[in-house]
Amino acid sequence: MFSTSDTIVAVATPAGRGAVGMVRISGADAVPVIRRLTGREAFRPRRATLCRLTVRGDEPLADKVLVTFFPGPDSYTGEDVVEIAGHGSPLLLASIVDAACDAGARLAAPGEFTLRSVVLGKRDLVQAEAVADLVDAVTPAQARAAFEQLDGTLSAAIGRLEARLFEVRAALEASLDFPDEGYHFITPEAVRQGLGDVSTDISRLLSTAASGRLIREGALVVLVGAPNAGKSSVFNALANAPRAIVTPVPGTTRDVLTERLVLEGASVTLVDTAGDRVSPDVIEQEGVSRARQAARSASLVLVLVDGSRPRSVDDDTVLQATTNQPRLVVVNKCDAERQVERSWTRDEEVVVSARTGEGLDRLRTAVVQRLGLRAAVHSDDPLVTNVRHIQCLERAQAAVARAAEAAGAVNDTNTTPGGVPEEFLVADIDEAQRCLQEVTGARSSDDVLAYVFSRFCLGK
C-alpha cells in the first residue's frame, strides 16, 4: 500500500503568497527531475545552488531559485531529497509542481514525506506524529511537548518497557523449551517483580495523560452561573477585551462566546454562556441549553456567584448541577459587602472583582493549578499527549496485569494451581509487547498508518 519506489513532489510551505515558497521532491529520481527543470547536471550535497528555472506551459514562467540536494539516507525521508526555494507566488509554485510531475514525479499524498521517513527507519511513529503536533503548535507548551517527543523521549521510555518485557518473556520461553530436563531460567518471584516494575512505569506514563492531552488539545474552561452574576464581566476581564456585551438586564448573553488564552504556556479556551434560569423566552431557553451542554464537556467549570447578594434559587441550581464536575466557585463583586452564603469548600472558592480587577491573577493561578497545567509543563517525565498512545498503553497495562496475576500462582510444575499453563503468561506478555510496539510503529497495520498520516499537511 505504501510504495517508496516512485518519486513524489509537493509544495512544502503554507498556501497563499509569501516572500519565499518551497517545493520538495523525494525519491530515486529526485535529481533527474531537477536536472530536467533547471538544465543543470551537478548539485553539491547540502549546498544551495542558484539556478534559473523555466516552467513550460501555455505561457512560460521563469524564476531564479535556490536548489538544495540532500542525498539519502541522510535526508528527511531517507531518500534523495531536493528542495526548491523560490518566490512565494502560488502560481509559480504550482507550475513547478506540475513541471516536476511532467518530468517523472507524482503529487505526494498528505504526510507522505514523513510516512516515508517512518517506512525507511528515519524516525518512529511517535516522532512522526510529533512532527504534525509541532507544525500545529500555537503555544510554547505545545511546541515543547511536541519537540520532546520528536527528540525521542517518549519512544525511549516505551523502548525500555518493551525490552524489560522481552527479557521476562525470553526467560519464560527458555524454561518452556526444556520441561523434561527441569531447567528454569527465571523464578516466579522474578517474573512477578519484573512485571510489577513494568506495570508501575506504565502507570507513571499514563498519569501524565490527562494533563498531556490538555497541553496538546487545549483546555475548555466554561463560565456558568445565574443571570447577572458577572460571567460576561469576568470573561472580558480575563480576555483583556470587551468581547461580551455587559448590561444590567438579566439574560443579555444568549449565545456561547469563546476566547483563547495562554496560561502557563498552554492553550485555554474560555467560554462565556447564558445565565442559567427558567425563562419563557425561546431564544434564551436555547442559550441556557447550550450553556449546560458546554459545561458538560468542560475541562473546568467556573461557577460565577454574585457575592453582593444572597444566594438565589438559580445559584443553587447551578451549584448543584456542577457538584461532581471539576470546578471553581468564583465569587464576584468582592469590592461590595459580602452577602452570599457559602455552601462550597474554601479550596473551591476564588474571590474576585471584575470591575476593579482584584483577584483576577489569583483566579488565573487557580485555573492553572486545578487543570494541572503547571506540573505538566514543568515535568521531567515524558508526556503522553496522544489518544492513540493512551489506548495502546492501557491495553499493554491490562495484558501485564493478567500476566502478573497468573504469575502470582505459578508453581514448580510450570502451571498455576488452577491449571493455567505458563504459556498463558507468555501470551499475555507478548500481547503487552505488541501494544507497546504499536505506539512506536514497530508493529502497525496499514490502517493505523493511514489514520495517523491523514491529518498531515501536503508537504510534510
The SS3 assignment for 126 reads: helix
Q: How confident is the model at residue 214 (pLDDT cuts 50, 70, 90)?
A: confident
For residues 287-302, average pLDDT: 82
Of 373 and 400, the structure prediction assigns the larger pLDDT to: 400
The SS3 assignment for 270 reads: strand
- Least confident window among 224-238, 278-292, 412-426: 412-426
How far apart CA 103 and CA 56 sit, in angstroms, is 11
CA torsion angle for 229, 231, 232, 237 (degrees, to 10)? 110
| pLDDT at 172 > cutoff 70 | yes
| pLDDT at 276 > cutoff 80 | no
Q: How many CB atoms sit inside 10 A of residue 79's CB? A: 24
| pLDDT at 94 > cutoff 80 | yes
Of 56 and 81, the structure prediction assigns the larger pLDDT to: 81
- What is the reported pLDDT for 236? 87
Of 366 and 458, the structure prediction assigns the larger pLDDT to: 366
Q: How many residues does the chain have?
A: 460
pLDDT digits over 17-55, tens only? 889 999 999 999 999 999 999 988 889 999 999 999 888
- What is the reported pLDDT for 423? 74
Spatial CA neighbour of 369 closest among 357, 358, 377: 377
Spatial CA neighbour of 453 closest among 223, 114, 172: 114
Would strands 300-306 and 8-11 be described as parallel, antiparallel, or unpaired? unpaired
Of 73 and 338, the structure prediction assigns the larger pLDDT to: 73
- What is the reported pLDDT for 415? 46
Please report the domains of the chain, with CATH numbers, ordered by start residue: 8-122 (3.30.1360.120), 153-208+382-441 (1.20.120.430), 218-370 (3.40.50.300)
pLDDT digits over 308-347, tens only? 888 888 888 888 888 888 999 999 888 777 777 777 777 7
- What is the reported pLDDT for 80? 96
- What is the reported pLDDT for 257? 83
Helix (H) or strand (E) holding 301: strand 300-306
- What is the reported pLDDT for 250? 61
b/e burial code for range 398-425 (CB count within 10 A of at least 16 → b): bbbbbbbebbeebeeebbbeeeeebebb
For residues 73-87, average pLDDT: 95
- What is the reported pLDDT for 48? 95
- Least confident window among 25-39, 407-421, 427-441: 407-421
What is the model's pTM? 0.80
| pLDDT at 182 > cutoff 50 | no
pLDDT digits over 116-146, tens only? 999 999 999 999 999 999 998 888 888 999 9
Mean pLDDT of the chain: 84
- What is the reported pLDDT for 244? 60
| pLDDT at 419 > cutoff 50 | no
| pLDDT at 426 > cutoff 60 | yes
- Least confident window among 25-29, 94-98, 290-294, 312-316: 290-294
Q: How confident is the model at residue 281 (pLDDT cuts 50, 70, 90)?
A: low
How far apart CA 64 and CA 356 sit, in angstroms, is 58
| pLDDT at 201 > cutoff 80 | yes
Name the β-bridge partners of 107. 9
Of 284 and 108, the structure prediction assigns the larger pLDDT to: 108
For residues 187-193, average pLDDT: 82
pLDDT digits over 264-275, tens only? 888 888 888 876
pLDDT digits over 219-254, tens only? 899 998 888 888 888 888 888 877 666 666 665 565
How far apart CA 113 and CA 12 sit, in angstroms, is 10
How far apart CA 165 and CA 248 sit, in angstroms, is 65
- What is the reported pLDDT for 458? 77
